[in-house]
Amino acid sequence: MSEQPAEEKADQHLDETAPGSEESEQPEEENDRPQDPWAARRELHRHAPTAIGGSLVGGAQTGVSGGSVTGDVVLGTKIEHHYRFGAATHTSGSIPDSELRDLRQVFAGYEELVHPLVDRLRDERVLVLSGAPFSGRRSAALMLLHALDAVPVRALDPKTRPTALNEQVTGDTRGYLVLDLVTGHDAPLRDIDLWSVRDELKQNNAYLVITVDLFAVLHGVDAVEWQPPSPESVVRSHLHHLVDDPPRERELLGLPPAREFLGRTDHQLREAAEFAKALSDHAEGGRSLDQLAAFGRSMIQEQVREWFGGDEASLRDKAFLISLAAFDEAAYALTAEVSDDLYAQFQGTEDANRRARVGVFGTSITKRLRLARATAYWQEEHTEWGPVTQRMARFQEGRVAAEVLREVWTGHPSARPGLIRWLQRLANDGRPLVRTRAAVAAAVLAQADLPSAMALLIEGWAKSKRYRDCLVAANALATAHAVGAPNVPAILRTWCDGDPAEPRLRWTAIRGYALVGAMMPREALAALADAARTGEDEQEARHIAESAALLLTDESPAVREQVLRDMAELLGDAPSVRRLALHAFVLACTHTDDLLILRWYATAGERGGPEDARQLAHLWRTVLNDMRYTSEALKALGDWVREADQDPEAERHLAVLLPALAVTGDDRKRIGHLLATLRDRRGDAPLPVAARLSAAL
């Protein structure tokens, strides 16, 4: 499911304590060491969601912003919800004839979707339509009843017990509708209930359509699974009704926002109907093109508010939505596992004296994902045990994940205690993916409300006595900066220059600069140089050098070039800063599996970038002549030569580099001795490539 070192048990996330809190303060363990920084960076990039992972490289930023939706929200071919505060909601009564007339004018997909069901309803008198929320089931039910001239239509109370349905269809009305009948394990809808109501309907020459959601409890009922019309057909139908000018309609549908909207097939029908209204408003000059382009963001915000602002979704469903937001594009089993833990945390918030209860079975993957407007797919995941094929889950619209986290954090403060406990437990998990997702979630919360996220989560991790917790804080800050959270550079600078009594805050900032540096390379290297000037600890000096080396091996060539230029200038700085530059360069050469620095030197010359090649060669000669780093530098060169024994391209690159390093007689002797004494990795035999490279000198 995810990477999990053998010494770190996966069930560590059950630990109740929070890093950084007084009750969780633990003595520093003797074996508590920072994770290798290159491995930590790979984990962050690998385990972050796609949208955010890309933003951590080279400084691209992502985020969701947008307007809001006001007024009625149209669902499919009718108005389902009216956001008018104080208005009464009547769940029983006759449906106005005007609504049926409007529906006939805009309904899409009658011939292929509704008409085939007419004969069945005529024969059976009662039909059950099952489907996802906002898929146009009510509209389809009304069209079915209208096709049989079963009007007027009387809407029955959805809380009517299934055993009492036959008592509700005894009047003179010919058409009846129950919208989203409420069922449960103590009140399922059974086939016997339908037989009973069918007898009553036959006596009165009437018809009944019942719609149920995906979680309805049905016993022996042959429900019709409703397949809605395509969002595009709904847009076209509504737009034609509103504009009634085919050339103008085609022009509107050709606008970039319309092409983008119609390019997706996962829109709810209410969104399609509302988008048609937005296009009509634009045609009449009431909505600008920019406002039209912001429509999708507004719908996302409205959907998320609906999930968490109403009672349609259960508490367990809401916990799953939040978990999916944090673990978007991760394995479904992992998402479900941690969502049940969050569900237990929320139960504790609702009633601290009640023991949390989480049902072991009874959840449906299909229904859960439909509710969340998510999709499942199979994908190969790389683990320390090799590639494993997993069933993954993600929101159909990538921007939903961040919006869910922001809405819960800022719009529902009562959820914060449970959410905080949950994230702290995730950060304490033995699986790197889980810890990374805790950091990413905290970053999104920081973008929405920086002071609270810092005080309640990130700062506690940063002050922890465990390096692993500090790394979660560094990952959170780097990701927060990538998604647009304010003041992250100032926070890092304050911690880096801060009180020596807070060494873990300082370490968090030093590692944070390595991760956020791609977005601010000059500022990051300058801050690390200042830390080197004021630091006195050798271990910290190595951590600073590792962060600088990470900047020098960034994936972005522009970032590397900037860091190289600034690092070369540090050679003339104070001794501690000079040592930082040399140590970082040696580490960069040693820790790159793909010979990045060697390839950089060779291609810099080929591209006509002699300045990069000159500075790289200068740094190489400097480290080879500095007694502190000569041994490490020769080891790095030796590893490159061993790689070249199996890689002709690497051999060609070394044939270009080595002469540039052998400027003086001492240089030639040093490199010549290395090549003459170098053995293969088993230490048995000399390397043929070494002899060929000696000739190149």
Taking alpha carbons only, the member of 56, 34, 36 closest to residue 44 is 56
In the predicted model, what is the mean pLDDT of the chain?
A: 82
DSSP secondary structure letter of residue 355: P
* φ and ψ of 348, to 5 deg: -65, -35
pLDDT higher for 548 or 606? 548
Long-range contacts of 487-494 (CB under 8 A, 24+ apart): 487/450, 488/446, 488/516, 489/516, 489/520, 489/523, 491/454, 492/516, 492/527, 493/527
pLDDT at 603: 85
pLDDT at 76: 32
Can you tell me the distance from the alpha carbon of 146 to that of 153, in angstroms, rounded to the nearest whole number?
Answer: 9
Q: Which residue has the tokens 């367990």?
A: 316
pLDDT at 16 over 90: no
| For residues 256-263, average pLDDT | 81
Q: How many CA atoms lie within 13 A of 41 on its CB side?
A: 23
pLDDT at 513: 93
Can you tell me the distance from the alpha carbon of 49 to that of 436, in angstroms, rounded to the nearest whole number?
Answer: 10
Handedness of CA 193, 199, 203, 205 (dihedral sign): positive
Predicted confidence band of residue 256 (pLDDT cuts 50, 70, 90): confident
pLDDT at 282: 82
Instruction: For residue 236, give the H/E element and its range.
Output: helix 231-243
Q: What percent of the chain has pLDDT over 90?
A: 29
pLDDT at 362: 56
Can you tell me the distance from the alpha carbon of 361 to that of 340, in angstroms, rounded to the nearest whole number?
Answer: 11
| For residues 559-580, average pLDDT | 93
| For residues 557-569, average pLDDT | 92
pLDDT at 618: 93
| Highest-pLDDT range among 52-56, 354-358, 642-646 | 642-646
Q: How many CA atoms lie within 13 A of 544 on its CB side?
A: 29
pLDDT higher for 57 or 677? 677
pLDDT digits (tens, 9 = 90+) for 156-209: 988 888 988 888 888 888 889 998 888 888 888 998 989 988 888 998 899 999
pLDDT at 358: 64
For residue 231, what are its two tokens? Answer: 């969002």
Q: Which residue has the tokens 């790979």?
A: 42
For residue 32, what are its two tokens? Answer: 């508590």
For residue 347, what are its two tokens? Answer: 């139960």
| For residues 413-441, average pLDDT | 94
pLDDT at 136: 82
CATH topology of domain 73-225: Rossmann fold (3.40.50)
Answer for the pair 531, 495: CB distance below 8 angstroms, yes or no: no
Q: Which amino acid is at 323?
A: S
pLDDT at 607: 60
pLDDT at 521: 92
Predicted confidence band of residue 427 (pLDDT cuts 50, 70, 90): very high
Can you tell me the distance from the alpha carbon of 69 to that of 305, in angstroms, rounded to the nearest whole number?
Answer: 11
pLDDT at 438 over 90: yes
Taking alpha carbons only, the member of 527, 533, 535, 486 closest to residue 510 is 527
For residue 173, what are its two tokens? Answer: 């009305």
Answer for the pair 375, 394: CB distance below 8 angstroms, yes or no: yes
- Sorted by where each begins, the domain ranges of the chain are 1-67+297-486, 73-225, 231-293
pLDDT higher for 440 or 299? 440
pLDDT at 132: 77
pLDDT at 407: 93
10 Å Cβ neighbour count for 474? 30
SS3 string, 381-441, reads EEECCEEEEEEEEEECCCCHHHHHHHHHHHHCHHHHHHHHHHHHHHHCCCCHHHHHHHHHH
pLDDT at 23: 38
Q: What is the pTM of this model?
A: 0.70
pLDDT at 445 over 90: yes
Distance of CA 327 to the CA centre of its chain: 6
- Which runs of consecutive H residues, i.e. helices, occur in 518-664? 521-534, 538-552, 557-570, 575-590, 596-606, 610-624, 630-644, 648-661
pLDDT at 275: 84
Tallying the residues shown for the chain, one arrives at: 697
| Highest-pLDDT range among 59-73, 142-156, 257-271 | 142-156
| For residues 275-281, average pLDDT | 84
pLDDT digits (tens, 9 = 90+) for 462-481: 999 999 999 999 999 999 99
Q: Which amino acid is at 662?
A: A
pLDDT at 311 over 60: yes
Burial class (CB in 10 A: 0-12, 13-18, 19+), 693: buried
pLDDT digits (tens, 9 = 90+) for 33-92: 888 888 888 888 888 887 776 566 554 333 333 333 222 223 233 323 322 222 333 356
Can you tell me the distance from the alpha carbon of 323 to that of 339, in angstroms, rounded to the nearest whole number?
Answer: 5
Alpha-carbon distance values, 474 to 18, 231, 644 (Å) = 17, 43, 36
pLDDT at 500: 62
pLDDT digits (tens, 9 = 90+) for 531-555: 998 877 888 899 999 999 999 998 8
pLDDT at 13: 37
pLDDT higher for 679 or 11? 679
Q: Apex CA 196: angle with CA 191 and CA 199, to 5°? A: 125
Can you tell me the distance from the alpha carbon of 20 to that of 464, in angstroms, rounded to the nearest whole number?
Answer: 5
